[in-house]
Structure 1
Amino acid sequence: AYFKKFYSDKDAIIVYFGVSLNAINLRYDTVDGINVRIFITGFTFNNVSTEEPYLRYVYTGSPYGDITKTLNEFRNYHLEHPLAPDVDAVVLITGIDMCEMKGRPLCNYQGMAFVAGACTWLKYGVCEDQPRSYSVVRPLAHELAHILGCVHDGEPEYRFISGHPGAKNCPYNQGYLMTYKQGSLNEYRFSPCCSKQIQFVAKLKESTCLFYNN
């Protein structure tokens, strides 16, 4: 459905994400202590739902996607069908409203990704976009930062990685990009805590692919 919103025009999508990527990289220019540059190495276009077997919905027949289940199935699918095994990260962009079922669909999600998954079997994310709106910029920058190692500002260290610095020293209400708070110039910037986390994860032996253009 997302592809069809571009009238199945691959060139239009490539141009759209080229512009979006420029805006995303302006945000990554604010990361201190390490140079982070996001590159797109390729696209996979899905014309029909049968090409997206990893999509899960909150219940049968619902228009709302289940974001947690979809993320897990997206990862599992690519582990079984490794289309781009050498890339640092893989993100599903969808026009479906992604939610979680908690008695009823809760749809205040714009994306989800595995923290510090870059270069590993957890290098996957899911991100919502309204085609042609450029609404993808903020959530994609946010989810890629998760994949690079950042938790939300104000949160403790990522417990699955020993020594991870976390983000307790960067209060949520400062409104940097690793929060959902908007309304100040900080929403276009990454916090000092996120910068430190990216630096830390980049030094892990599992993250060496980040230093190669692949």
Structure 2
Amino acid sequence: MFSVGEVDVKGLQRFENMLGALGAEAPKAVNRAINRTGDMARTQVVRTLAKQTGLPQKTIRKSVKVKRSSWDDLTYTLKSAGGDVALKYFQKRETKKGVVANLGAARGRVLFPRTFFRGGAFPRRVDLSAFGGHVMDRMSEQRFHLKKVKSGVFIPEEMVEGATADAFERSVQQNLPRRLDHEISRLLGL
């Protein structure tokens, strides 16, 4: 979980006098600046997390929930919940040895032996609509004794470590002072 209100941004003391001059309008200016900065940070988090995990940005965007800042609560929060992501959502291809999936920059391409998501004889195998794109592993010799295969990637864990956490903090530290200056100047008519 990330929160813009928790990131220490040095140099914001210079805005104290200007915020004092705004009076009751100050929370509105800070709220707009935090929300805009948070949206920019969210974009960076989604991009970086997609590279880090190997998942498409569309999937990451669905899993990252946003709680925007308000006049009363001046924090912008990014949350993600969920468990082990199924191989269905990764770039994958089927080989005779099993399914090979791209699990991001750190893990690279990983072979999952004896797994499949297509049916028929090689090389003319076809996607099986009954599986809905899921990768299956045969648990025994019985025909329908199958299990969905998971990737070992947990989006909430990946979100708070490594390049994604750095991208969030860097984006907030670069953009929040600039956005605050812009919103304050706009309200003061400068």
TM range (shorter): under 0.3
Higher relative contact order (CA closer than 8 Å, sequence separation 6+): 2
Higher strand proportion, which one? Answer: 2
When Rg is computed on C-alpha atoms for both structures, the one with the higher figure is 2
Higher helix proportion, which one? Answer: 2
